[in-house]
Structure 1
Amino acid sequence: MPPSWLLDLLFWLAVLFLAGLYVSWRATRLDRLHVRVETARAALDAALVRRAAVALELAASRLLDPATSLVLATAAHEARTADADGREFAESDLSRALRAVVGQPDFRATLDSRGDGTALLDELEAACRKVTFARRFYNDAVSATRIARRKLLVRVIPLAGKAPVPDFFEIDDVPPDF
């Protein structure tokens, strides 16, 4: 039978080892959540850029009247060139402009009479849907990361390091009625 001090030492080494494993697991989980937020943000940015590009393409297609083209092109250009602080507002403005343009009476019939605009409209519809999904996915990732960062262990032992707390991306992304 080993001496009692040896059993005590083995017990405390096992406790330290298990605590180390738990802290390591928590740090790895937090790191994965931050990577998920970055990936979701990149996907959201790509979807927003694609939506603006399709809106610009529709504005330049000569399928719309000049005033409508100007409104849509201005909103799309502002959304593409907005800085980080004004991006949410610019993207919301683009959503409202798209709803105003597509919500015109007999919009689809007008596009069909002026040329083959249905493919462009279908592409715009898909881009708007992708923006909605990408924003939801990003905000879900931000929510999970913020919850993980609020845990006591993460705050006591700064497991998040110097990574900034991610912010939600809130825009008016209600798609137009196609």
Structure 2
Amino acid sequence: MTFSATTVLVLTLIAALVTAVGLWAYSTANRLDRLHVRSDQSWQALDAALARRAVVARSVAMAVAGPVSDPILAEQARRLSGLADRAERAGRTERETVENQLSTALSAVDIGTLRPQLVAELADAEARVLIARRFHNDAVRDTLALRTRRPVRILHLGGTAPLPSYFEITERATPAAATGLAVDSIRTSARVVLLDEQDRTLLMRGNDPKTPEVSFWFTVGGGVEPGESLRTAAVRELYEETGYRADPAALRGPMWRRVAVFPFDGELIRSEELFFGLRVHGFEPSAAYRTAIERHYITAHKWCGAADIVALDQLGETVYPYDLDELLPQAIEVVSGNADFEVRSIR
């Protein structure tokens, strides 16, 4: 039995097509598996952050009740404590409802009557919940986007794993971390600690346009725009400020969280900054893609080791975040994959 050249060609094309589909299905199934793992891990992180907030809420309830017998405050404390208990015991299906009720109860507390340390603990707990919720929802979005594609559904590449679900929680209108200052702008920023082969980090030198004589150094990054995820904002800012294109999936973290209040261009800004780590080959940053304001206030750059950062501080040019020279070893561990990262508050 012999085959014509046309038959052989057709069989070859069919074999190539089957191989291509098989490779695509295999890679897609692996990617889905990784996305499901990411969703599960992000939920575990969110669950831990919610549990910590419940503990702090119980402390707030005790402080609200106080030594003075006030029926209104006593009822507020009782409700707050009860909701914290319910939140810890709630199953996944009712967790969102109970946690939102707890958010509402916490928002009703006059934080001006609490000890500063307790306010700080509450602010940190709430911030961790919001960060964890943001990353969980990002993971869910990415998983659903791939899992719900028609070819994926037809070939059952998702297996029997249940579809992950979003978790929405109310943000308080007046943050517990309020500084008492009247700020003009509140924003979330994504920053990147770039590390080269010599474990040096890239710092940008800049100044407030209103006080050009005072210079300071800072890591790459900037404000998150509407609709952006933290990772998307981080790689966009990295490209704008340096010309370096990064894969959002390559970012490690966030590893640090910093709340800063600072003047800039005539406004007082309150910024919640989340820091990622990224290992790169050393490169010369380009200013070609900077925005007009970035071209105006960014004046220099430098790859710095811990000793270089200390030297800049000694010259009177502040480096942000503070104590970056002491934080670098942790960043090195995180980007090297040798340490599990948990968001750490820095200043």
Corresponding letter in the other structure for 1:150 = T
Equivalent in the alignment of 2:345: none
Q: Which runs of structure 2 are paired with 1:1-178 in the superposition (5 Å)?
A: 4=5, 9-61=11-63, 64=66, 67=74, 68-101=76-109, 104=110, 107-108=111-112, 110-111=113-114, 117-174=115-172, 176-178=174-176
Q: Secondary structure of the equivalent of 2:92? A: coil
- What is the alpha-carbon distance in structure 2 between the residues aligned to residue 130 and residue 176 of structure 1? 16
Equivalent pair of 1:95/1:175 in contact (CA under 8 Å): no
Q: Secondary structure of the equivalent of 2:122? A: helix
Moved more, 40-49 or 131-140: 131-140
Q: Could you give the per-residue CA deviations for residues 35-67 of structure 1, whole angstroms, max 9, x where no partner exists?
A: 111011101100100000111123235774651
Change in CA separation of 1:50 and 1:176 when aligned onto 2, cut-off 3 Å: farther
Higher percent of residues as strand: 2
- What is the alpha-carbon distance in structure 2 between the residues aligned to residue 175 and residue 55 of structure 1? 17
Identity %: 40
| RMSD across aligned positions (CA) | 2.3
How does the TM-score come out when normalised to structure 1?
A: 0.81
Higher percent of residues as helix: 1
Q: How many residues align?
A: 166
Q: Structure 1 residue 19: deviation in Å? A: 2.1
Q: Which has the higher contact order (CA 8 A, sep 6+)?
A: 1
Gaps of 5+ in 2: 177-347
- What is the alpha-carbon distance in structure 2 between the residues aligned to residue 52 and residue 17 of structure 1? 52
Gaps of 5+ in 1: 112-116
- What is the alpha-carbon distance in structure 1 between the residues aligned to residue 51 and residue 156 of structure 2? 35
How does the TM-score come out when normalised to structure 2?
A: 0.44
- What is the alpha-carbon distance in structure 2 between the residues aligned to residue 55 and residue 146 of structure 1? 33
Corresponding letter in the other structure for 1:44 = L
Q: Structure 1 residue 140: deviation in Å? A: 1.5
Q: Structure 1 residue 138: deviation in Å? A: 1.0
Equivalent in the alignment of 1:114: none
Q: Structure 1 residue 170: deviation in Å? A: 2.1
